[in-house]
Structure 1
């Protein structure tokens, strides 16, 4: 059996943004999860959300004191595209591992959902740079079925390139050049040491850049203590802004939730557990808890302190996905005959890499400086100065673009 190499790659979030109100469409989750679907991408919202939480829980088990950051949507998209070529038990196992209940949604509906979602995300608004791209690099000796290639192009907007994998250096340069371009230079030299018998590399890239509607003022960013744990304290640059935010304190799981919407249709959730309560929050983290937060948020005046930081992460996915039930595609039992017509392929490698940069947007800082510095006596203080969980969501489709936990902002 030949190997083909699957690489899942993610470019990072270049800046968070925030505004003083939550748009009307922010209340759409209840309709999506408990009412009729309005768009094809709503058909896959629950599955994608459940996969995001499953993946987070698995990674968190082995990373109690480490930063976590990944794109669940990037991983789901790449492996759903791979499902176009999967058959029999390999197909059902793959889709089930991605948290799609095949008694409630068909394979066709899944691919149609991703098709609609990719089109939606690639045209979010004039205020946000957001691209979700897929590519297939195919060895010249491999002859994929026309149906597989056409479906990859149609449903997943995949670019298709012929590659000479006999020249591994040339192949790596070709793939890395594509990734570099798609991620605006944020991910470089990702592909290294391709297996000698690689016949195909599948790549998913996501890049996002957004701006604060009312930016933090970089002139008032100051160093503060960040309490990594009960024994470790580090100095971090802490941004500050006074304004109106949607927040909720969940007494049941002991955490503070703060929502920072972007310009456009993307929102950032910051979940700040009480000291010593991170595991309690992580254990409860799931779709039901998220819906509870959606319906409990209230707007209030807040003195908000948020760390300025950047991190990068890299995950070898084989072990994680196996624990989530996706096993066949990595073994001789793989049936990927929908790619070539023969069950002679398996996945030899699956890599996910992510980059995140949170900072002030100084270009518009002066416009709101005066109001930001006048706290109201009735306002509360939310200081994100200990480990926190974050989730970046596209609100109309309810898609998790990014998810993570920042244990130490100084560890890259």
Structure 2
């Protein structure tokens, strides 16, 4: 069959020619490996492309490369890793919501034009046109806000505008905010106390907590355009840990520091997902009542290799490892922890390439006339892992019934997270939270 042409029909409107069927399959599997993509995803790309045109195996290779580079999910995953590295030291506990921020940036892009818009899109959605980006993230904002039987994943976005003697908020800006379910607050430039109180109240309502971002003394009345995003997660484990098995153990923070942490443990039979490669072990813990919601922990095989892992890990490889996870029997030990962060993201975003938006050269025609620029991008995050799941500090949930403990003997998979690790939470194949834990807190 080497000299024969292979004809495949999809919807009756395309033909693929190849000297060898093996040539086509070799291309597909090669790209699965090199680009860290699942076979299902490669097949989707193949049929999507072939439905549009006639191609050869050589052309297919080119377009597989192109599509592998340009998937929103892989670009978003890469953005998430770069953002975390730019915003937080790997030796400190940190958590942020890259999806919440991407939704914020998408709204900002929708209000912008010219170089301002180009720079914003290049950072978190390079290669996609403006309409596609805005439609994608506005739909995500609407979908994620829906609670599912007590499981709540809710990003929030507040646009604070101090227009002073400028015209009122334009209809275009109001329409954009509605598309993203964002709130707009407009204040008199000198009404500092009221501004501070309303922003803090909005944050408290969004996160179901007593978060306070500002006090009157630190809020700058010269901030004319401020973006505040929040993220709230309330979800129980599908397989909760037994509190009676949580004990104090050593955690190796770095070469010179060993601390004591509360380590949750479980002998998990056919409950958790797992994969590994030469650098990391990956454990996937499902949440209850939402089959698309998972916590994935990326544990370096070497105790103090998190920094090098973060430097080398790409979004494509991260998604590949997640896609490769399979349900296994595994012995698990993972710390119980709570992280709270307040990120001012102007500098991290500028280091990634968003520069014009923070300067007097910014172009935001949907907001007002010339001179309006982003004064501050702020994200407030709190994330807790305990025996029950991920909840606000003061929430209460029932504990599971007693489970039979079984003593394992012989060889088995061990996932002992007793040194710094990376973690992500995914929903609907999107990275909604990313962070790292080292047992050390910023001061």
Listed one character per residue, the Cα deviations across residues 105-148 of structure 1 (whole Å, up to 9, x for unaligned) are 22111111112111211125224112122233334644222112
The offset of 1:358, in angstroms, is 1.1
- Residue in 2 aligned with 1:332? 360
Alignment equivalent of 1:316, drawn from 341, 344, 350? 344
Distance 1:99 1:318 in 2: 18
Distance 2:211 2:42 in 1: 35
- Residue in 1 aligned with 2:438? 407
Secondary structure class of the residue paired with 1:365: coil
- Residue in 1 aligned with 2:294? 267
Secondary structure class of the residue paired with 2:154: strand
The answer to whether 1:89 aligns with 2:122 is no
Say if 1:89 and 1:241 are closer, same or farther in 2 by CA, change over 3 A: same
Alignment equivalent of 2:99, drawn from 59, 70, 73? 73
Distance 1:188 1:334 in 2: 29
Secondary structure class of the residue paired with 1:282: helix
Aligned residues: 369
The offset of 1:187, in angstroms, is 2.1
Distance 2:83 2:436 in 1: 13
Distance 2:324 2:71 in 1: 25
The offset of 1:409, in angstroms, is 5.6
- Residue in 2 aligned with 1:136? 159
The offset of 1:32, in angstroms, is 5.6
- Residue in 1 aligned with 2:334? 306
- Residue in 1 aligned with 2:193? 169
- Residue in 2 aligned with 1:156? 180
Distance 2:424 2:118 in 1: 28
TM-score by length of 1: 0.82
Equivalences for residues 33-112 of structure 1 within 5 A: 35=44, 44-59=72-87, 63-101=89-127, 105-112=128-135
Distance 1:278 1:248 in 2: 18
Preserved contact between residue 241 and residue 303 of structure 1 (Cα < 8 Å)? yes
Equivalences for residues 181-330 of structure 1 within 5 A: 181-185=205-209, 187-190=211-214, 193-243=218-268, 244=270, 245-251=272-278, 254-263=279-288, 264=290, 265-273=292-300, 274-330=302-358
The answer to whether 1:113 aligns with 2:136 is yes
The offset of 1:34, in angstroms, is 6.6
Task: Give the root-mean-square deviation of aligned CA atoms.
Answer: 2.6
Secondary structure class of the residue paired with 1:303: strand
Give the 4+ runs in structure 1 shifted more than 6 A. Answer: none
Q: Which runs of 5+ in 2 are unaligned?
A: 1-36, 49-69, 389-395
Distance 1:355 1:260 in 2: 19
Equivalences for residues 366-377 of structure 1 within 5 A: 366-367=400-401, 369-371=402-404, 373-377=405-409
Listed one character per residue, the Cα deviations across residues 281-339 of structure 1 (whole Å, up to 9, x for unaligned) are 22221122123313432332122111111121222212111111110111121111221
Secondary structure class of the residue paired with 2:236: coil
Listed one character per residue, the Cα deviations across residues 153-184 of structure 1 (whole Å, up to 9, x for unaligned) are 1x201223332331101110011111111110
The offset of 1:186, in angstroms, is 5.0
Distance 2:403 2:90 in 1: 40
Distance 1:215 1:100 in 2: 39
Secondary structure class of the residue paired with 1:91: helix
Preserved contact between residue 29 and residue 294 of structure 1 (Cα < 8 Å)? no
Say if 1:173 and 1:364 are closer, same or farther in 2 by CA, change over 3 A: closer
Preserved contact between residue 173 and residue 366 of structure 2 (Cα < 8 Å)? yes
Preserved contact between residue 43 and residue 113 of structure 1 (Cα < 8 Å)? no
Preserved contact between residue 258 and residue 269 of structure 1 (Cα < 8 Å)? yes
Secondary structure class of the residue paired with 2:133: helix
Listed one character per residue, the Cα deviations across residues 237-277 of structure 1 (whole Å, up to 9, x for unaligned) are 111111132212211xx211111111202111101112232
Distance 1:194 1:393 in 2: 34
Distance 2:221 2:240 in 1: 49
The answer to whether 1:351 aligns with 2:378 is yes
Please, which moves more after superposition, 108-117 or 180-189? 180-189
TM-score by length of 2: 0.77
Say if 1:79 and 1:295 are closer, same or farther in 2 by CA, change over 3 A: closer
Secondary structure class of the residue paired with 1:339: coil
RCO higher in structure (CA 8 A, sep ≥6):
1
Distance 2:425 2:348 in 1: 22
Distance 1:325 1:191 in 2: 30
Preserved contact between residue 175 and residue 191 of structure 1 (Cα < 8 Å)? no
Q: Which structure has the larger Rg? A: 2
Say if 1:80 and 1:191 are closer, same or farther in 2 by CA, change over 3 A: farther
Listed one character per residue, the Cα deviations across residues 84-108 of structure 1 (whole Å, up to 9, x for unaligned) are 221111111111122432xxx2211
